[in-house]
Every structure is written in C-alpha cells, then in structure tokens.
Amino acid sequence: MPATSTDPGAVILTGDRPTGPLHLGHYCGSLRNRVALQHGHDQFVLIADAQALTDNADDSGHITRHVHEVALDYLAVGIDPELTTICVQSALPALCELTQLFLNLVTVARLERNPTIKEEIQVRGFGRDIPAGFLCYPVAQAADIAAFRATLVPVGADQAPIIEQTNEIVRRLNRQVGHTLLPEARALIPESGRLAGVDGRAKMSKSQGNALALSATDDAIRAAVRRMYTDPDHLRVTDPGRVEGNVVFTYLDAFDPDRDTVHELKAHYRRGGLGDTAVKRRLETVLLDLLAPIRERRTAWADRPDDVRDILRDGTRRARGVTQATLEAVKDALGLYRVGR
Ligand code: TRP
C-alpha cells in the first residue's frame, strides 16, 4: 500500500529514466506513492533522459522516443499535471550547471564507493570502461534534487545511497557558505520493499524479461500470472504450501485491496487444500482490475499527443524557473563573478 508523507510542507521530486515502458515494479515502488502524495504537496516528476544517456550514449533515439511513453505511463496511472509538475531533464540547463559545481564537492573515490553504482557497473559489465557520466550520475541526481529544493524523494530502496550522497554534497555546500542554503532530502522508500519479478527473482526488470508493463494487455497479464513462480514443493492441492517467497502471494500483498481475503487465502494455502490455480485466479482478477483503467487512460492520452507535448512543455517551463532560481542562489552564495546582463 502507498507510503504516506508525515511532512505536509515537503517538496517532492522523483524521476525515471526513459529506457522502456514503466512496469508494476515502478508502480509498487514509486508511482502510486506519487499519485497519493500529489494531493497537498508540491510535487515534481522528472523524466530523466539525460541520466538515461549515461549508459545509453549510442542509443539516444530510443531514449527520446521513451520520453513520450513514460509521460503516457504517468498520466495513465493518475499523475495529474494540474497537481504535479512533469518535466524533461535535458531541457533544464540549470541542472547541468549545478552538476558542474557539485562535482567539485565529491571525490572520485567517494563516487566509486557508492554501492548502487558499484552494483550497476557490475550488472552492465562496464569493466574498466565506465563512462565518466555514468560514474558521476549520482552527482547529477544530487543536482536534480537540490535544484528543486526537494525534501522528500520517493524512490526504490536501491536509490537510498544516492540520496545519502546528495545530502553529503548539500551539507558540504551549506558548511562552505555558512548557512542552510539548500535543504537535505529524505528518501521515501516503500515498506513493502521492491517487487519481485514474475519469475521469483528479486527484482522486476524489463532487461531480465520478468516484468509486467503497466500497458500490458489482458492476455499478457494472464500469461504472466500463469507462469508465475509459486512454491516448487507444493505439488498436490492437499499439500501445505509456502507463502514466503511465493510470488503470487507477494503480488496479492502488494496489490489486492481486500486484505482480509488475502489473509484467509494465506492461511488456507499454508494449511493445505488450496491449489495454485485458485490463488492465481484471484491474482489475475486483481491485476486485471488494477491495470484495465490504467490502460484505458493510457490509450486515451495516446490519442492526444499534442496535449501530452503541451503538458511536458508547460511543466518543463515551470521547472526551468524553479531550478534556475536555485542555481542563481548557489552562484550568489559561492560569490561567483557576475558579468551583468
Ligand atoms: N535514478 C533514478 C532512477 O533510475 C531516476 C532519477 C533521476 C531520479 N533523477 C532523479 C529519481 C531525482 C529521484 C530524484 O530511477
């Protein structure tokens, strides 16, 4: 279930790399928090195309195409452009300038120690050929967060070290200028942890082929549920089954609004006498009910590409004002030379 903010004055920033369609993992980890938090908070959502280029330099066309797709996913899940400012990172030059200033506040050794980056370097098999932009993306992300003066960042658990590094940079800058120029940010991480892939692997990821896209058709949803990992030792319906690590139950926990029914199903499954097919049928209904309206809204927005472009233009324009103002404040505080207009 969505996490809640305890700070009504929080400024919220989140973002996604537009590398592919958003999936249920994004929904569970962050998107539904955003939908809940947009009421009563100042919220910005950044389509992080510049960050996506840090490990996709040779495929900018792919990234650019997905800017629009990610915007459709946002609108489809109910992020309301009247309540949330949706903006495009590469169209916000203040972020680059702030990144450049921030780069002087971290060491290469600290960048190399960031556990998220370490893991991502491994996964991507960069070896010694790490793009400098990739190694430095946590600094750029610190600039994103600081530029919006964000105090709350709803992200998956894997992003926590990046928020930590952001706060180190912000503290260093504040110390240097002698006052709290920029606020520190808090990561808002969903209690449920990250959503497992449909195959039972720890993380849902498009590149691992175990993701269910928010735009999935009914047939794709049914097929994903059918091949979903359960308890491999639960051979006969009458056998007692294991709920822990059983992806079908993980998903029911994450998405079934009827907690009592889930509770009963779990007890029954543990006792024995409840087959995988029955539990899967329940999950199928839950996911079809969840995703059908999302898909309908997506289709409706997809038919209005000009309106989507207008939303991104207006949001980016607004974000330009906010981020530019922060950049000016940082330049002033650092006492950079001003040539005047
Ligand atoms: N690194 C984030 C991700 O991969 C995307 C991102 C870029 C972001 N800038 C941000 C998230 C600022 C939160 C705040 O999902």
CATH code, domain with 84: 3.40.50.620
Judgement on whether residues 257 and 316 belong to the same structural domain of the protein:
no
Cβ of 53 less than 6 Å from ligand 1: no
Judgement on whether residues 121 and 38 belong to the same structural domain of the protein:
yes
Q: Estimate to the nearest angstrom the gap between the alpha carbon of 131 and the chain centroid.
A: 22
Does pLDDT of 315 surpass 50?
yes
Cβ of 51 less than 6 Å from ligand 1: yes
Cβ of 19 less than 6 Å from ligand 1: no
Question: 14 CA to middle of ligand 1, Å?
Answer: 6
Q: How many domains would you assign to the chain?
A: 2
For ligand 1, atom 15, name the residue with the nearest CA. 16
Range of the domain at 172: 11-195+305-334
Does pLDDT of 115 surpass 70?
yes
Within a domain: 230: yes
Within a domain: 328: yes
Judgement on whether residues 277 and 324 belong to the same structural domain of the protein:
no
Kindly state the tokens that stand for 336.
């950079």
Among 159, 186, 322, say which to mutate for ligand 1: greatest number of ligand atoms within 8 Å of CB: 159
What is the band of 1 on the pLDDT scale with cuts at 50, 70, 90?
very low
Q: What is the pTM of this model?
A: 0.94
Outline where the chain has alpha helix (H): 24-26, 32-37, 49-53, 60-77, 93-103, 108-113, 115-124, 132-135, 137-147, 160-177, 218-226, 247-255, 259-271, 276-302, 305-334
What is the band of 206 on the pLDDT scale with cuts at 50, 70, 90?
confident
Cβ of 155 less than 6 Å from ligand 1: yes
Contact assessment for residue 34 and residue 15, using Cβ atoms and an 8 Å cutoff: no
Per-residue buried b or exposed e for 17-30, using 16+ beta carbons within 10 Å of the residue's own CB: bbbbbbbbbbbbbb
What is the band of 6 on the pLDDT scale with cuts at 50, 70, 90?
low
* Ligand 1 nearest-atom number relative to CA 162: 1
Q: Tell me how far apart the alpha carbons of residues 124 and 126 are, in angstroms, rounded to a whole number.
A: 6
